[in-house]
Every structure is written in structure tokens, then in C-alpha cells.
């Protein structure tokens, strides 16, 4: 009877400790999803919680036979390792990042008080009524441009990026004027959930997706922008050749000393597949294969822990890429420095005269079923809007926002 009671106490203690650890872990994970705590901290909590549970169970099961001093030392070492791992996670999170989602989009929202979106000095030659408005989406880096278009042409109102407010409706969670990023903008366009998107040219995968869906993409050039590479401002390397960039991103060059820099291994960050900047890298690389990107585990409020391409993190040996306006105007950090390519720095002047070797056109893109007319050929509002965007007032907004007009 005494032996049976002892076993029940052991089992009960073990179950109790496991439940407590699970509750603590669940609560911490939920807080991390909401507040963005480092994933390594969660890993440390998991390991530490398991170690603590095992320690408690062993002490309950057979505290006499095992010398508690050694058991305590083991627990202290494990917990110290967990604290160190969590600290490393916080250190990584403290390093400045450049992400396609870093832009505070609400600061450019049309008609918002103090909006950074460009305002025309004179009345716009095109004015829409509420019934004439078309649905717009696009890349993060281009939101300031088309927010300026909306502010000039659309009737004044609240243009939330999500449905349910003044311009909402049954539109898959997005509003009349949204910014879901390049990848989702193309998907929403092909699904018929938006009318015009402002993005870089489509990737091979996006063209194939359109073909598989029996759709055709129609591209209207809107402006030009430089595709740029940047490094930590403490990196003494000031420029690369296009060939050196190709060798870095194919893995042939792995140390900065090979391009005149210090003896640091190169940490080359990439962007998510089908994003505008990753597509631009693929075009630059041509037939040269791109090495596998660095990845990281992140916490998503919708999907829990997900594995994704790592955002650029400004280590002293890092190199990353984006579009010039995004990296200079939207990312308010003097901790990165743009590199010259083939001896030419990316400026408005070098983009306009073509001397900077890697500049890209960005477009207003529409979609129709294959073989059918483009929307701008049959919809007067889309046609008028695109004509205005390419006209004098639209191009002035492109230029005053910081991009290079046609």
C-alpha cells in the first residue's frame, strides 16, 4: 500500500510539473506572438522549463539516492546556458534590420493629417467621385507614390489599408487603397481582388502563375529606380563591380578581403522569393545561380513559429539590397551605406542618365483573361487614371516623392 501511494505521488508530481511548464510556455509564446519576443528566448524557456521539470521529478522520485548537490549543479549549468541563449537572441534582435515592412505606412496615408504623401500645389486635372474610384494595391516601397496619386485624384476620406472602415467592404480584409506588398499584390490582382497594382516587373514565377490561371498581365511604365546594395557603415568597402556582386551572391566570393575589405566573412542577405527586390537580384544575376538565402525562425500571430528568409540584419560583415528610395528615404538609419556599382553611386542623376548600371522600371499593372482586352481598354476610369499617372501631374508626384520620372 505504501509503495502504491509513493508511485501515485510520483506520477501526480510529474503530471503537475509538466502541466505547469506547458501553461507557462503557452502564455509566454502568446505574449511573444503579440510583442515579438526573440525566438531564441522561447527556445531557452522551453529547454529551461523541461530541465526544471526533470529536476523536480527526480527530486520527488528518488531524492535520497541521487546526491542533490550534483543535481543542483546540473540544473544551474542548464539554466545558465538557457539564459545565455536567450541573451544571444536579444542581442540579435537589437541589431538594426532593413525589412520590406519597416516603413511606417500610416505616415503616408492619403488625407491623413501630417501625411508625408506629396500634395499638388494646384488642382488635379483628374478628379474621381466615390463611384469612379478603382482599387489599388502595390509594393511597400511604392506606397508613398500611389498614396500621392490617391490624395490628388480621389475624393477626400479615410483610406484604410483594411476593410471595415469608411472605404471598406467585402474585399478579403483589405480596403480600397492598400499595400499588401509585391507578392500578395500580384496574387490579389490575378484573383480579381484589386484593379491596379504599383510594383516592379513580375518575376518568372508570377508570369507562370498568371499563365496557369489563364490570365495576362499588362504593364504601364510609371518611373525608374535604382537597385542598390548596402553594407554596415563601418565596412570600409565603398563599391563593387556587378561581377563581384554576382560572385558574392553565387557564393564564389565569401570574404571581404577578396574585394579589398577587411578579413571578414561575407554575410549576404536576400529577400523573400517573388518580392520585388529578390526579382531584381535574379535579373541582375542572369544565368549565374544564386546561393541559398539565410533563413530564420520567426513568430507570426497567424501561423505561430514559421521558417522564413531572414531580414537584413546590420552585422559589420553584412551586405543587403533594396531599391534606392526605400533604403535612403524610408529607412531612417545612418548605420548603412550604399555601395557604388562599377564606380557609380546611385543618385537621381545617375539613374536618369543611365550611368548607374542597375536601374529598374516600376509599373502600374493590370490583368485580364488571356486574349481579352486590357482593363484600361474597356474601363474608362482605369484608362483615365493611368493616363493621368503618366502625365505631367502624375510624373511630378513620382519625382517629388523621390523616384525618377519617365
Q: Looking at the structure, tell me whether residues 273 and 142 fall in a common domain.
A: yes
Q: Looking at the structure, tell me whether residues 168 and 86 fall in a common domain.
A: no
Q: Looking at the structure, tell me whether residues 123 and 81 fall in a common domain.
A: no
Q: Which three cell numbers stand for residue 197?
A: 497594382
DSSP 330: I
Which of 63 and 209 is assigned the larger pLDDT?
209
**Region 326-353 average pLDDT:** 82
Pairing of strands 215-232, 97-98: unpaired
- Taking the C-alpha atoms of residue 33 and residue 30, their distance in angstroms, rounded to an integer, is 5
What are the tens digits of pLDDT across the range 87-128?
666 666 667 676 555 456 788 899 999 999 999 999 999 999
Polymer length in residues for the chain: 406
**Region 347-351 average pLDDT:** 88
Q: Which three cell numbers stand for residue 236?
A: 570600409
- What SS3 class is residue 293? coil
pLDDT tier at 34 (50, 70, 90 boundaries)? very low
- CA 238-242-248 angle, to 5 degrees, is 80
pLDDT tier at 314 (50, 70, 90 boundaries)? confident
- Taking the C-alpha atoms of residue 14 and residue 53, their distance in angstroms, rounded to an integer, is 8
- Taking the C-alpha atoms of residue 127 and residue 362, their distance in angstroms, rounded to an integer, is 24
Report the pLDDT value the prediction gives residue 285, as an integer from 0 to 100: 94
Q: List Cα–Cα distances, 164 to 149, 172, 233, 393, in angstroms.
A: 23, 10, 43, 31
CATH number of the domain encompassing residue 309: 3.40.190.10
- Other beta carbons within 10 angstroms of residue 101's beta carbon come to 10
Of 55, 71, 94, the residue that ends a domain is 94
**Closest CA relative to residue 229, chosen from 281, 191, 173:** 281
Residue 401 contacts residue 142 (beta carbons within 8 Å): no
pLDDT tier at 247 (50, 70, 90 boundaries)? very high
Q: Looking at the structure, tell me whether residues 82 and 106 fall in a common domain.
A: no
For 112, list phi and psi in degrees, rounded to 5.
Answer: -75, 140
Of 94, 118, 153, the residue that ends a domain is 94
Q: Looking at the structure, tell me whether residues 108 and 153 fall in a common domain.
A: yes
Q: Looking at the structure, tell me whether residues 67 and 149 fall in a common domain.
A: no
Structural domain that includes position 90: 2-94
Q: Looking at the structure, tell me whether residues 103 and 196 fall in a common domain.
A: yes
DSSP 140: G
How many domains does the chain fold into? 2
Of 94, 114, 132, the residue that ends a domain is 94
Q: Looking at the structure, tell me whether residues 184 and 270 fall in a common domain.
A: yes
- Taking the C-alpha atoms of residue 359 and residue 68, their distance in angstroms, rounded to an integer, is 67
Report the pLDDT value the prediction gives residue 131, as an integer from 0 to 100: 95
DSSP 329: I
Q: Looking at the structure, tell me whether residues 309 and 236 fall in a common domain.
A: yes
Q: Looking at the structure, tell me whether residues 235 and 350 fall in a common domain.
A: yes
Per-residue pLDDT at 231 exceeds 90: yes
Q: Looking at the structure, tell me whether residues 57 and 186 fall in a common domain.
A: no
Judge if pTM exceeds 0.75: no
Q: Looking at the structure, tell me whether residues 350 and 204 fall in a common domain.
A: yes
Amino acid at each position: 500500500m505504501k509503495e502504491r501511494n509513493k508511485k501515485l505521488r510520483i506520477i501526480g508530481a510529474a503530471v503537475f510539473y509538466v502541466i505547469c511548464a506547458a501553461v507557462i510556455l503557452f502564455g509566454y509564446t502568446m505574449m511573444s506572438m503579440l510583442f515579438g519576443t526573440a525566438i531564441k528566448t522561447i527556445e531557452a524557456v522551453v529547454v529551461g522549463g523541461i530541465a526544471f521539470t526533470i529536476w523536480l521529478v527526480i527530486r520527488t522520485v528518488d531524492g535520497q539516492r541521487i546526491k542533490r548537490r550534483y543535481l543542483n549543479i546540473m540544473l544551474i549549468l542548464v539554466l545558465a546556458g538557457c539564459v545565455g541563449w536567450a541573451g544571444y537572441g536579444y542581442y540579435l534582435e537589437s541589431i538594426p534590420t532593413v525589412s520590406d515592412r519597416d516603413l511606417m505606412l500610416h505616415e503616408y496615408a492619403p488625407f491623413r493629417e501630417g501625411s508625408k504623401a506629396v500634395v499638388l500645389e494646384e488642382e488635379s486635372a483628374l478628379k474621381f467621385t466615390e463611384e469612379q474610384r478603382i482599387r489599388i494595391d502595390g509594393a511597400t516601397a511604392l506606397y508613398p507614390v500611389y498614396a500621392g496619386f490617391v490624395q490628388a485624384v480621389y475624393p477626400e476620406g479615410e483610406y484604410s489599408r483594411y476593410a471595415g472602415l469608411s472605404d471598406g467592404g467585402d474585399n478579403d480584409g483589405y480596403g480600397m487603397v492598400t499595400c499588401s506588398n509585391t507578392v500578395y499584390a500580384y496574387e490579389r490582382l490575378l484573383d480579381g481582388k484589386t484593379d491596379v497594382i504599383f510594383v516592379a516587373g513580375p518575376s518568372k514565377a508570377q508570369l507562370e502563375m498568371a499563365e496557369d490561371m489563364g490570365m495576362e498581365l499588362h504593364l504601364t511604365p510609371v518611373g525608374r529606380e535604382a537597385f542598390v546594395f548596402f553594407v554596415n557603415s563601418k565596412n570600409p568597402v565603398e563599391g563593387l563591380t556587378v561581377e563581384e556582386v554576382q560572385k558574392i551572391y553565387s557564393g564564389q566570393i565569401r570574404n571581404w578581403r577578396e574585394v579589398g575589405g577587411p578579413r571578414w566573412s561575407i554575410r549576404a542577405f536576400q529577400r523573400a522569393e517573388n518580392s520585388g527586390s529578390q526579382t531584381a537580384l535574379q535579373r541582375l544575376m542572369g544565368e549565374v545561380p544564386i546561393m541559398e538565402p539565410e533563413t530564420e525562425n520567426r513568430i507570426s500571430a497567424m501561423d505561430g513559429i514559421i521558417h522564413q528568409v531572414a531580414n537584413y540584419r546590420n552585422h559589420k560583415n553584412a551586405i543587403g539590397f533594396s531599391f534606392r528610395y526605400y533604403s535612403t528615404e524610408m529607412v531612417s538609419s545612418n548605420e548603412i551605406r550604399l555601395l557604388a556599382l562599377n564606380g557609380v553611386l546611385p543618385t537621381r542623376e545617375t539613374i536618369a542618365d543611365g550611368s548607374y548600371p542597375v536601374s529598374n522600371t516600376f509599373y502600374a499593372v493590370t490583368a485580364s483573361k488571356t486574349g481579352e482586352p486590357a482593363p484600361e481598354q474597356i474601363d474608362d476610369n482605369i484608362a483615365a487614371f493611368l493616363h493621368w499617372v503618366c502625365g505631367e501631374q502624375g510624373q511630378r508626384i513620382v519625382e517629388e516623392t523621390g523616384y525618377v520620372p519617365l
